[in-house]
C-alpha cells in the first residue's frame, strides 16, 4: 500500500505538507534589511497596509486605510519632528513591511503603521521593526502609544511581549476611532 501524502499551498503552488517547513525556511532565508522609507517605497507600503486591513476586515473609516498620508509616507515622515518610518526590504527594493514612530502628544510617541506582508509573518520581522522603532523612540520620548484591534491577536501578543500595557480607552486626540485596543509603553529611566 502506498503512503498517503497530505498537500497544502505555498504561494499558490501545491506542496506536500512535509515539504512546507523546508519551504518556510527557504522563504525566511531571503536576506531582508530594515532601512528608512524612500519615495519609491510609498506605493508598495500603501498597498501592504490596505491589503492587510482588507484581509483582516478592517478597511474602515477611522483606520490607517483612509489616512490621507498613506500614499506618501516618505514625505509625511520626513516632515515629522522626531518621527521616522522604516521598511523591511530585499536588496532590489521589494518591500515586505514597515513601521514608524511619530509624535502623538507632548512626551508621547506613537508606534504607527506597523504592517508585515502575510507571506512574511511568523519570521520575527515584526519584532525587528519594533526593535528599530523603539530604539529610535527611546531617544526622543519617555512613552510610546499605539492603537490596534483586539482581533489582531498576534500583534497584541507582540506588543505585550515588548512591555506595552493595555489601556481601557484611547488617549485623547486619537485619529483612529475604529480601533478597539490601545497600548502604552513607559520607558524605564
- CA 97 to each of CA 17, 19, 162: distance values in angstroms, whole numbers, following the listed order: 27, 26, 19
- Sort residue 11 into left (φ over 0), alpha (ψ -120 to 50) or beta: left
Q: Provide the whole-model pTM.
A: 0.83
Digit-coded pLDDT (tens) for 43-66: 999 999 999 999 999 999 888 999
Mean pLDDT value of segment 8-33: 56
Kindly indicate the confidence band of residue 8, based on its pLDDT and cuts at 50, 70 and 90: very low
pLDDT value for 2: 36
Digit-coded pLDDT (tens) for 104-151: 999 999 999 999 999 999 999 999 999 999 999 999 999 999 999 999
Say how many Å lie between the first and final Cα of the chain, rounded.
67
Q: d(Cα 67, Cα 32) in Å, to the nearest integer?
A: 27
Q: d(Cα 15, Cα 27) in Å, to the nearest integer?
A: 14
pLDDT surpassing 50 at residue 1: no
Q: Phi and psi for 12 in degrees, rounded to 5?
A: 80, 0
Digit-coded pLDDT (tens) for 146-186: 999 999 999 999 999 999 999 999 999 888 888 999 999 99
Interhelix angle 153-161/125-140, nearest 10 degrees: 50
Amino acid at each position: 500500500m502506498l503512503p498517503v501524502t497530505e498537500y497544502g499551498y505555498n504561494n499558490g503552488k501545491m506542496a506536500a505538507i512535509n515539504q512546507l517547513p523546508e519551504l518556510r525556511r527557504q522563504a525566511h532565508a531571503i536576506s531582508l534589511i530594515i532601512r528608512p522609507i524612500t519615495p519609491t517605497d510609498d506605493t508598495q507600503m500603501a498597498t501592504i497596509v490596505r491589503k492587510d486591513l482588507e484581509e483582516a476586515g478592517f478597511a474602515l473609516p477611522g483606520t490607517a486605510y483612509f489616512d490621507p498620508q498613506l500614499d506618501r509616507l516618505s514625505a509625511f515622515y520626513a516632515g515629522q519632528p522626531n518621527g521616522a518610518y522604516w521598511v523591511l526590504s530585499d536588496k532590489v527594493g521589494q518591500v515586505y513591511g514597515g513601521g514608524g514612530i511619530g509624535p502623538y502628544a507632548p512626551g508621547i510617541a506613537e508606534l504607527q503603521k506597523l504592517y508585515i506582508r502575510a507571506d512574511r509573518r511568523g519570521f520575527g520581522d515584526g519584532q525587528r521593526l519594533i526593535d528599530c522603532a523603539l530604539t529610535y523612540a527611546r531617544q526622543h520620548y519617555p512613552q510610546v502609544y499605539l492603537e490596534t484591534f483586539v482581533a489582531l491577536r498576534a500583534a497584541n501578543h507582540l506588543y505585550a511581549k515588548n512591555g506595552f500595557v493595555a489601556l481601557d480607552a484611547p488617549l485623547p486626540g486619537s485619529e483612529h476611532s475604529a480601533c478597539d485596543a490601545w497600548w502604552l509603553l513607559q520607558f524605564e529611566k
